[in-house]
Amino acid sequence: MSQSLGRALRILIELGDGPRGLDDLAATVGVHKTTVLRLLRTLEDERFVYRDGEHRFHLGRRMFALSAAALERREIRGVAAPHLARLNESTGQTVHLGVYEGGEVVYLDKYDSRHAIRMYSRIGLRMPLHATAIAKVLLADLPEARRERVVREIEFVRYTPNTITRPDALLAELARVAAQGYAVDDAEHETFIRCVAAPVHDVTGRVVAAASISVPDVVLTRERVMDLLPELLATTRAISADCGHRTEGTTTP
């Protein structure tokens, strides 16, 4: 049963990247086509997948219903939404919300820019822990021992000439992020994208999410991207306040 479940989940993960034919799915899962077809028929019966006229399989409406329900239950997404929408409207740039869970940093929400260049990021996609501003913000809030353990386990893939590729360098960067209260991705994940991110705090002061502004270098220079930081910080402070966080000098109404 557990083996069948694992195969069915692998099929759903593959379909998350786009429609697939039976042969492709069988090759990916590594089992005979009859086994995959049996799993697909069960998934079809429960509306987790559907088959089009060209006999390709797609994610079905039950998957989207579950996805929507999961997102609705993520309170921080709903709290942050109006603030991030205003930030996106005022800057015209791509705005992301990300969270750290299960050892991974994932996009929880995204607001696209007004310009023609689009980022490949999407809700639910994992981010490299060592090469994105949101991930740096979230890792910087971890207790020191846990932070070091997480960093030591990272596979330091070099995405661009600016990518951090050593544990000690990343730990030093995270210490700076924790001290200054924001992080920068200076073309470290994609050569043409710069990003600045800031933390969202809950009522306990813990960082529960991070928001970012991402800008292609053909749109704004690095200096102009950094000019957006005060507006981003104001946005994350407002989200944090709605989450119950109070900074020193403020009182609860």
What integer is the mean pLDDT of 161-176? 96
**pLDDT exceeds cutoff 60 at 249:** no
> Quick one: which of 156, 90, 95, 159 has its CA closest to 129?
156
Q: What is the mean pLDDT of residues 69-90?
A: 84
pLDDT in tens, 39-71: 999 999 999 999 998 889 999 888 877 776 665
User: Given a cut of 80, is residue 232 above it in pLDDT?
Assistant: yes
Q: What is the mean pLDDT of the chain?
A: 89
- Pair 105, 189: CB distance under 8 Å: no
118 confidence band (pLDDT: 50, 70, 90): low
pLDDT of residue 85: 97
For the chain, the residue count is 253
In angstroms, what is the C-alpha Rg of the chain?
A: 21
pLDDT at position 252 is 34
How far apart, in whole angstroms, are the C-alpha atoms of residue 103 and residue 14? 21
In the chain, the percentage of residues whose pLDDT exceeds 90 is: 66
Least confident of 40-44, 125-129, 249-253: 249-253
For residue 229, the Cα-to-chain-centroid distance in whole angstroms is 20
CA angle 73, 245, 198 (to 5 degrees): 80
For range 4-8, the mean pLDDT: 89
